[in-house]
Amino acid sequence: MQRFARYVWLVLASFPALLSAQGYGVYELSPCTFGRGGAAVASPCPDASAIFFNPAGLADLKGGHVSAGVTFIKVNGGFTDDAFGQNTSLDDPLIPVPEVYASYQPRPKLGLGLGFFAPYGLQTKWPTDFEGRFAGYNNIIHTYYVQPTAAYQVSKQLSLGVGLDIVHGSVELHQRIDLSTTPVPGFPPGTTFGAFGIPYQTDFADATLTASKTAFGGHFGAIFKVNDRISLGARYLMKVNLNYSGTASFTSVPTNLTIPATITIPGIGTIPAGTPLDGFLASLGLFTAPNGPLQPQTVTATLPNPDMFVAGIAVKPTANLMVLVDYQWTHWGSFQTLTLNFTPTTALNQVLYESYQNTSGIRFGADWTQSQHLNLRAGYLYHQGAAPDQTVTPLLPEGPRNEVSAGLSYKFSPAMSLDLAYQYIRQDDRRGRTIETPNVPPTTALNSGLYTFSASLFGVALAFAF
C-alpha cells in the first residue's frame, strides 16, 4: 500500500518546472518597452516603468508619473508523438498580465517609485485525454512583485537606483494518476495493475496541488550618460528563494472497468474476474486518513527565482531616432536539484533532478519620434532556453526563442499618453517526454515526441504625468 504514495511525490515533484522556466518568464511588463523588443536598460521609457527595467531611470523623471496597463498572452503549441504521429494541441486561455507603476520626484535629482507587476506567470493547459496528463494537464503559475524604489542622480553623467522586491508566488497543478502503472498492494515490488490486464493509461485519480509563499529580494541599476547621444546602463535583479508550502488533494476518477483477471491479494483475499474495479479500489481506502497513501499531503520545497543581469547601450544617431541593444544573462544554473519534504509521509522525501543551464539573450530596439504626438517602435530579440533536452515535459515545453515586436505611443496631451504594442514569439521545436521519472535522473532516451510553441502578445497602457 505504501508504494501508492509515490504518486503523491510525482504530483508535487512536477510543479517546480513551472516556476523556474525561462519560457514562462514574462519580460513584457510595459507596452512602451516591449514594443522595442524589451531593450531599455540604458534608456528606459519616459514613464515609471523604469522601476523594473532600470530603477536608475527614475532620477531623470520630473514631477509625477502614473501608468497602468495589461499584456494579453495567447499561446499556441502542441505535442506530436513518435509512435503514431498524433498531434495534441495546447488549450491555453487568453492570459492577462497586469502592470502598475507610479513615481514622484520630491526634489531635484531624487526619484521615488512603486511598481506592481508579474514577471513570472503562464498557464499550460492540455486536454484531459492527452497522454502527458499523468505529468500535468493544467498548470498555473503566478508570481507578483511589488517594488518600492529610489534613484539619485550622482552627477550629470551618473544615476543610481535601488529597491526592495516583495515577491508573492502561487502555483496550481492538476495531474492524473495511471492505474496500470500503480503497484498492487500486497504483491512484490514492481507488480502493477497492468500485470492483471488493466489497460495502459487508465485514469483512476485526479490530483491537485496548490502552494504559495511570500519572499523578499532587491534590485539595483545604473545609467551613465557618455554624452547627449550615447548612454550606458546596467541592472541586477537578486535571486529570490521561495520557500513554498503546498497541499496535494486527490479525488477518484471512475474507470468504469471490471477486473479482467482473478487477483489473489495476500491479506485481502481473492478478487474474481468481472468484479467492478471502482468498488474494489474504494474498499482499499486509498484517499482517506490515517493510512490512505492518497490522503491529502503537505510538502515543502525551496525554489529559486534566479538572479538576472542586464547591460546595454542606447545611441541617438539623429535627434528623433534612438537605437538600443541589451544583453541579458539569467542564472538558471543555480537550479540543479530540488529537495521535497513531506508530512505526514516523511519516507517520501525525495530529490528531483532539473540540471538547468544559465541563459543569455540579446535584444535590439528602435524608438522613432515621428512627431510631438507620435512615437513608433520596433524590436527583435533572441533568447536561449534553460531546460536541457532531458527535462522538456508537458509542464515545460520551452526552448530557444526568436521574437519580433512593434509598438507606438500617442500623446493626447503633455499629461496623458497611450501605449500599444504587439509581439510574436517563435520557439524552436524541441523533443521531449510525457512521463516522469521519480527519484532517477532523466535521460533523453525517454523523449517520445516533438513539442511546438508560439505566442502572440498584445499590450496596452495609459500613462499620466503631473
Determine contact, residues 140/101, Cβ cutoff 8 Å. Answer: no
Distance CA 307, CA 41 (A): 16
Q: Concatenated DSSP letters for 308-371?
A: EEEEEEEEEEETTEEEEEEEEEE-GGG-SEEEEEEES-GGG-EEEE-----EEEEEEEEEEE-S
Determine contact, residues 378/363, Cβ cutoff 8 Å. Answer: no
pLDDT, position 347: 60
Distance CA 178, CA 90 (A): 21
Please state, as a whole number, how many other Cβ atoms lie within 10 Å of the Cβ of residue 76. 13
C-alpha cell at 377: 517602435
Distance CA 297, CA 465 (A): 51
Name the burial class of residue 85, with classes exposed (0-12), middle (13-18) and buried (19+) by CB atoms within 10 angstroms of its CB: exposed
C-alpha torsion 254→259→265→270, nearest 10: 120
Determine contact, residues 238/187, Cβ cutoff 8 Å. Answer: no
Please state, as a whole number, how many other Cβ atoms lie within 10 Å of the Cβ of residue 258. 15
Q: Concatenated DSSP letters for 168-227?
A: EEEEEEEEEEEGGGSBPTTSPTT-BGGGGTPPSS-EEEEEEEEEEEEEEEEEEEEEEE-S
Phi, psi of 255 (to 5 degrees): -90, -25
Q: Which of 422, 424, 423, 432 is nearest to 452 (CA)?
A: 432
> Please, what's the b/e burial string for 89-111 (b: 16 or more CB within 10 A of its CB; e: otherwise)?
ebbbeebebebbbbbbbeeeeeb
Radius of gyration of the chain (CA): 26
Distance CA 65, CA 71 (A): 20
C-alpha cell at 382: 533572441
Distance CA 161, CA 237 (A): 12
Element containing residue 160 per DSSP (H, E): strand 158-178
Q: What single-letter DSSP state applies at residue 276? A: B
pLDDT, position 118: 87
pLDDT, position 11: 37
Helix (H, G, I), strand (E, B) or coil at 269: strand
At 104, the amino acid letter reads: Y
Q: Which of 35-49, 222-236, 255-269 has the lowest mean pLDDT?
A: 255-269
pLDDT digits (tens, 9 = 90+) for 264-314: 877 667 888 899 999 888 887 888 877 777 778 887 877 777 889 999 999
pLDDT digits (tens, 9 = 90+) for 402-454: 999 999 999 999 999 999 999 999 988 999 988 877 788 889 999 999 999 89
Q: What single-letter DSSP state applies at residue 20? A: T
pLDDT, position 291: 74
Distance CA 441, CA 205 (A): 26
Full set of structural domains in the chain with CATH: 2-465 (2.40.160.60)
pLDDT above 70 covers what percent of the chain?
92
Most confident listed range (101-105, 330-334, 388-392, 431-435): 101-105
When the pLDDT of each residue in the chain is averaged and rounded to a whole number, the result is: 87
**Overall average pLDDT of the 254-270 stretch:** 83
Please state, as a whole number, how many other Cβ atoms lie within 10 Å of the Cβ of residue 82. 11
Residue 162 predicted with pLDDT over 80: yes
Please state, as a whole number, how many other Cβ atoms lie within 10 Å of the Cβ of residue 371. 10
Residue 23's pLDDT band (cuts 50, 70, 90): very low
C-alpha cell at 156: 550629470
Determine contact, residues 207/201, Cβ cutoff 8 Å. Answer: no
Most confident listed range (92-96, 114-118, 390-394): 114-118
Residue 21 predicted with pLDDT over 70: no
C-alpha cell at 466: 503631473
At 413, the amino acid letter reads: S
